[in-house]
Structure 1
Amino acid sequence: MSTQRYSVTPHPIETLLTWVKSGEIAIPEIQRPFVWEATKVRNLLDSLYQGYPVGYLIAWRNPNVKLKDGTTSTGKRILIDGQQRVTALMASLLGVEVLNEDYETVQIRIAFNPQEETFEVANPAIRKNVAWIPDVACVFNPATSVFQLVSDYCRTNQDCTQDKIFKIIEKLRGIVHNHVGIIELAEDLDIETVTEIFIRVNSAGSPLSQADFAMSKIAVNETYGGNLLRKAIDYFCHLAIAPEFISKIKKNDTAFVGSEFFDKMKWIADVNDDIYDPTYTDMLRVAFTSEFGRGKLQDLVALLSGRNFETKQFEDAIAEASFGRLKNGIFAFINKTHFDRITMILRFAGFVTSGLIGGRNVVNFAYIVYLRGRAENVPAADLERIVRRWFVMSMLRGRYSGSPESTFDFDIRQISSRGLVSYIESVIPNELPDSFWTGMLPQFMDTSSINSPYFLCYQAAQVKLGDKGFLSRDITVTDLLLNRADVHHVYPRKFLKDEKGLSRGTYNQIANYVIAQSEINIAIGAKSPTVYFAELKAQCEGGAKKYGGITNRDELIANLATNCIPASMLDGEIKEFSEFLEERRKLMALKIKIWFSAL
C-alpha cells in the first residue's frame, strides 16, 4: 500500500503561466516585493534556453470548502516554493510588472542577442545596440509577427541570414514548452508535514515558518479581503523600521491609502522608538492569540481555510468569520493607544532601549496580556502592573524560549478559562518563590552571555531604580544606556587575562560587568582592583581625582552599593575573583528582587 502524500507532474511553462493568470495557481508573494536581482532572472532564462532543469515547484492545494448554499468550492493550488521563479518568468516573458523593494511597480526587461545567443539585463547601451532585442517579452507577445520581427532585425544586422535568426528566435520561443515538475501536496497534510517536506526538498532555501503559511493563506484570499489585510501587515512592519516609506505608499498604492487600514496605521510613521519593531510573525502571533484564544499558528491556517475542528470539514462560513476576527485582531494590534501603551509599560519598567528587550516572544505575549486585559476591562493601573510583572517573570524564567507556540497556547487557554488576573496572580508566585531570588537566580547568573535575560533585567533594574553609573557622581545608568554605553569590567579584562591567565568565558562573567562612563573605564585600564580601589579611597581623602567626580566616602559607598560592589573593597578587602563573582551575583539577584517588587 502506497504512503505517498503527493503527486509529481511535469507541466509546460506555458501551462503554468496560464494557470497563474487564470488564478488556478495562486502566488502569495505577488503582492509583496520581488527580491530577485535582475541578473538572476537573466540566468533563469539562460538556463531554460540551454535546456537545463530549473528545479521543482511545490504547490499545496487548498481544501475543498462547503459554501453556504451547500455546494462545494474546489480549492486553489497555493504555490509555496518557486514563487520567485514563477514571478520572474511572468515579469520577463509576459511583461507583467512587479513590485520592487520600495513597493514601486517596475518592469524587468531582459535583452537577447540572437547572434551570440546570450541574455543580458537591458540597459541604455544595450537598447541602442541593434544586435540586441531589448526586451524578450516582445518575442512572446501573441500580437508579435515573428516574420516581421526577424525581417526588422536582419535589416539592421545585415551580416545575419533570416533563416538562421528565425531558427534562433523559434528556439527562444520554445522555452515555454520546457517542462517544470510540480510537486502537489495532499490537501489534508498538516503544516508540520508540509514544512518538513519543504525543508527536505529545498534544503538550500530558507525554511518556511507557520507564519509564512498563514501569510500565504491571507494573501491569496481576495473574497474576504485577505490581499488587503496582507498589505496592512507588511506595510505596518515596514513603516515601524523605515517611517519615510510612507511617502512611497502614498505615491504608489492609492487603493491602500483609500482603505480602512491606512488611517489606522499612518501614525507609526511619526514614531522613532525602536523598543518594539514587530515582524509579520509577531503581528500574527499577537493578533491571533489575543483574538482567537489559541496559540498555534497552524490553527490560524486551518481556520482561514474554513476548518470545523469538530466535524473535520471545511466550511466557507468559518473562513469568512475567521478573516473577520483576524482583521479585528490586526486592528487591535495597530491601534495607536494600544501600541503606545505597551511600549510605555516596557519603558516604565526600565527597558529603555531595544537592546534590553530579550526574546521577541516575551514582548509578544506581554502585548497579548495587555489586549486581553483591555477586553476584560481590567482597570488601567492594575493592567499595567500585571503586564510589567508578567513580562519580567517571562524573561527571568525563559518562559517562551523553548517551544513558544505550545506555551502561548497553554497560557492563553488558561487565561480564557480562569480569567486574566486570576491566572497571572497564581502563576507569578509559583514561578518566582523566595528560593528563586536567593538560590536559583545567583546560580543562573553564572554566565558570560552579555545578552542573558538576567543581565538585561539587572540593567533595567538599575534604570528603574535611578542608579548612577559605576563611580559616576552625576551620570545615571539610564543616560549611559540611552547613549549606547558599553559595559566594563570591575576586575579588568587585561589584568585577569595577562596576570591571572583566565579564559574569556571566566573574565567575561556578567557578575564582572558594570555600566560605566568610558573615561572612567579608560582611567582604570588594566590596573589590579587592589591598586585602583586604593586610589579611590585616597580620592575620598583629599587625594588626586582619578576616577569620576566622587570625593566623599559616604557617596562612594552608596555608589558601590547601587552597583552591587562590596563596600569592603574600599578598605583593601580585595577578594579572589571567584569569591567576588559569587558575592556579587547574590547582590545583583537581590537588586533584581527589589526592582521586581516595585513593579
Structure 2
Amino acid sequence: MSQIFIRVNSGGTKLNEDDFIMTLLSVYDPKTRKRIEDWCEKSHTPGSGTSFNPLLAVKPSHIVRAAVGLGFGRGRLRYARLILNGRDLKTRETSATKRQENFEKFNVALDKVLNLNDWHAFINALGEAGYVNENMVTSENAIPLSYAITLIARHRFGISGVELKRIAKRWFFMAIITQLYTGNFESVFEQQLHAIDQLHNADGFRDWIEGEIAARLTTDYFEVTLPNELGKNQASGPVWNAFLAAQVFLGSRVLFSTSTVAQLLQPSNSGTKTAFDKHHIFPANFLKGGPYNDMKNGRANFVLVDYQQNISISDEDPRIYVTSLRQKLGEEEYRKTCSDNALPEGFETLEYPEFLRRRRLLMSKMVKDAFEKL
C-alpha cells in the first residue's frame, strides 16, 4: 500500500488523510467510493430522492467521519485511514483479514449514514431549529458530526421519533453557537465518542446529552458570554446566526413588515440579490463622525429588513424614520415589531450606548427562549 501512495503522490503534492482514505477505497472497495462520491454530488443539486439539502454541500470526508464515528466509535480521520487499511486498533496489528472485517463493518455503518429518510429527517430538524440556509452554518463539521450523534442515539440506544428530533435540534444548536466543532474539533469528537462508549443504556445516553449541553449553555453563557459576543462588530458569525435562527423558530416578523424572518432567509428567496438587507438600526452614516462612530457596526445595531425597506429608511435619524413608521403601524403593531426583533420599546429615543446595552440583553434572551423551547 505504501507503494501505491508513492505512485499517487508522484506529482509532488502531499497527500492528506482524505486522499489516503479515498485511495484506500479505490483500491479495496471502488464501489463504496463511488457510492460515497455520488451521494455527495447529489447533495449539491436539487432533485427528488437525493441527498440535496439547503445547508451543506457534503464532502466524502463528512460521510467517512460519520460512518467511522457510528461504526467504530472513533473521531479522527487518521483512525478511519488505519481502519480501512486493516488495522486492529486494540492490537495495533494490520492484516488483510482485519481489513475485510473492517470494510464490512464500515459498510454496515455507511448504510445507516446514507439512509435518505434519516438524513432528511435530521436536516428538517435543523430547519425547525431555525437553520434554514447555508449562510447560517459557520462550521461545516457541525452538521456531519451532529448527524453522527443522532445516528448513535437511534441505532445504538433505540431513541427515535419526536425525542430523536429534539436531540438533533438541541445538540446542533449548542454545537453551532459554541463553535464546538471548530478548531481542535477532532479531539472533541473523539472524547465524546469515548464517553458514549462507556454508556450502557438509553437513559445514560439521555443524561450524557443533557449534561454536555448544560455544561456549555449555562446561565452565565446566556447572561454574560452571549451579550458580550453580541457587542462585537459585524452582523455575522455563530451568535448572530443563532439570533436569526431564534427569530425563525419563534416566527418573528421582519422589522416594520408583515413578512417573517423565515420567509426572507429561505434560499428560494435569493436571486442575484438577497431578499433582505442587514439594516443599521442607528444608520452608519447617521453615527459617522460622532462620538459613537467606532461602535456603529456592533452586532446589536443590526436587524434584517426587506431590501426595499432598507432603501426607504436610508440614513435617517431613527427618531424620524421610526416615528413615521410607528404612526403608520399603530402602537400595538409597533410593540409587536419591537418584540419580534428584540428591540426595547422606545429604542429610537435612547442614547446609542444604552440602546446597544439593552438590545444585547434582549437578543440574548430571545436566543435562550428559543433554545429552551426546542
How high is the TM-score relative to the length of structure 1? Answer: 0.58
Aligned-pair CA distance for 1:285: 0.8
| Pick aligned residue for 1:242 from 24, 45, 53 | 45
**Residues 1:574 and 2:350 aligned together:** yes
Q: Where in structure 2 are the equivalents of 1:425-574 lying within 5 Å?
A: 425-472=210-257, 474-482=258-266, 483=269, 484=274, 485-498=276-289, 502-503=293-294, 506-537=295-326, 539-540=327-328, 551-569=329-347, 573-574=349-350
Query: Mean alpha-carbon deviation: is it higher for 313-322 or for 586-595?
Result: 313-322
Q: Is the 8 A contact 2:230 2:239 kept in 1?
A: yes
Aligned-pair CA distance for 1:78: 4.8
Q: Is the 8 A contact 2:243 2:366 kept in 1?
A: yes
Structure 1: distance between partners of 2:238 and 2:206: 25
Aligned-pair CA distance for 1:489: 1.1
Structure 2: distance between partners of 1:536 and 1:589: 26
- Give the SS at the match of 1:79: helix
Aligned-pair CA distance for 1:275: 2.1
Q: CA RMSD in A?
A: 2.1
Distance change (3 Å), C-alpha of 1:77 and 1:361:
closer
The one-letter code of the counterpart of 1:81 is N
The one-letter code of the counterpart of 1:337 is N
- Give the SS at the match of 2:7: strand
Aligned-pair CA distance for 1:501: 7.2
Structure 2: distance between partners of 1:78 and 1:441: 49
Aligned-pair CA distance for 1:286: 0.9
**Residues 1:218 and 2:25 aligned together:** yes
Structure 2: distance between partners of 1:411 and 1:286: 13
Q: Is the 8 A contact 2:67 2:109 kept in 1?
A: yes
Distance change (3 Å), C-alpha of 1:554 and 1:215:
same
Aligned-pair CA distance for 1:492: 1.0
Aligned-pair CA distance for 1:243: 5.5
Aligned-pair CA distance for 1:500: 5.4
**Relative contact order (alpha carbons < 8 A, sep ≥ 6): 1 or 2 greater?**
2
Aligned-pair CA distance for 1:449: 4.1
- The runs of 5 or more residues in structure 1 that have no matched partner are 1-25, 27-59, 62-75, 86-201, 245-265, 541-550
How high is the sequence identity, in percent, across the aligned residues? 27
Structure 2: distance between partners of 1:219 and 1:309: 22
- Give the SS at the match of 1:281: helix
Q: Which residue of 2 aligns with 1:380?
A: 161
Aligned-pair CA distance for 1:329: 2.2
The one-letter code of the counterpart of 2:176 is M
Structure 2: distance between partners of 1:294 and 1:328: 15
| Pick aligned residue for 2:112 from 326, 332, 338 | 332
- Give the SS at the match of 1:487: strand
Q: Is the 8 A contact 1:492 1:528 kept in 2?
A: yes
- Give the SS at the match of 2:293: coil
Q: Is the 8 A contact 1:234 1:280 kept in 2?
A: yes
Q: Is the 8 A contact 1:276 1:343 kept in 2?
A: no
Structure 1: distance between partners of 2:136 and 2:93: 46
| Pick aligned residue for 2:171 from 387, 390, 415 | 390
Q: Is the 8 A contact 1:369 1:420 kept in 2?
A: no
Q: Which residue of 1 aligns with 2:49?
A: 267
Cα displacement string for residues 21-63 of structure 1 (whole angstroms, at most 9, x for unaligned residues) = xxxxx8xxxxxxxxxxxxxxxxxxxxxxxxxxxxxxxxx34xx
Q: Where in structure 2 are the equivalents of 1:277-356 lying within 5 Å?
A: 277-356=57-136
Q: Is the 8 A contact 1:372 1:420 kept in 2?
A: no
Cα displacement string for residues 186-242 of structure 1 (whole angstroms, at most 9, x for unaligned residues) = xxxxxxxxxxxxxxxx5xx5x643222211221122xxxx11111111111112213
Structure 2: distance between partners of 1:77 and 1:401: 29
Structure 2: distance between partners of 1:479 and 1:350: 11
- Give the SS at the match of 1:391: helix
- Give the SS at the match of 1:241: coil
Query: Larger C-alpha radius of gyration, 1 or 2?
Result: 1
**Residues 1:232 and 2:35 aligned together:** yes
Structure 2: distance between partners of 1:561 and 1:325: 52
Report the number of matched residues.
362
Q: Is the 8 A contact 1:304 1:318 kept in 2?
A: no
Structure 2: distance between partners of 1:357 and 1:452: 9
Q: Is the 8 A contact 1:286 1:368 kept in 2?
A: yes
Distance change (3 Å), C-alpha of 1:489 and 1:77:
closer
Q: Which residue of 1 aligns with 2:363?
A: 588
Structure 2: distance between partners of 1:446 and 1:430: 23
Greater helix percent: which structure?
2
Moved over 6 A (4+): none
Q: Is the 8 A contact 1:529 1:574 kept in 2?
A: no
Distance change (3 Å), C-alpha of 1:77 and 1:495:
closer
Cα displacement string for residues 435-492 of structure 1 (whole angstroms, at most 9, x for unaligned residues) = 21111110122222433111111001101101100111x2111111122422211111
Structure 2: distance between partners of 1:528 and 1:287: 55
- Give the SS at the match of 1:491: coil
Q: Is the 8 A contact 2:54 2:132 kept in 1?
A: no
Structure 2: distance between partners of 1:272 and 1:217: 26
How high is the TM-score relative to the length of structure 2? Answer: 0.90
- Give the SS at the match of 1:451: coil
Q: Where in structure 2 are the equivalents of 1:68-107 lying within 5 Å?
A: 78-82=6-10
Aligned-pair CA distance for 1:325: 1.6
- The runs of 5 or more residues in structure 2 that have no matched partner are none
Aligned-pair CA distance for 1:380: 1.6
Distance change (3 Å), C-alpha of 1:310 and 1:563:
closer
**Residues 1:416 and 2:197 aligned together:** yes
Q: Is the 8 A contact 2:64 2:80 kept in 1?
A: no
The one-letter code of the counterpart of 1:510 is R
Q: Is the 8 A contact 2:176 2:238 kept in 1?
A: yes
Distance change (3 Å), C-alpha of 1:406 and 1:353:
same
Aligned-pair CA distance for 1:560: 0.9
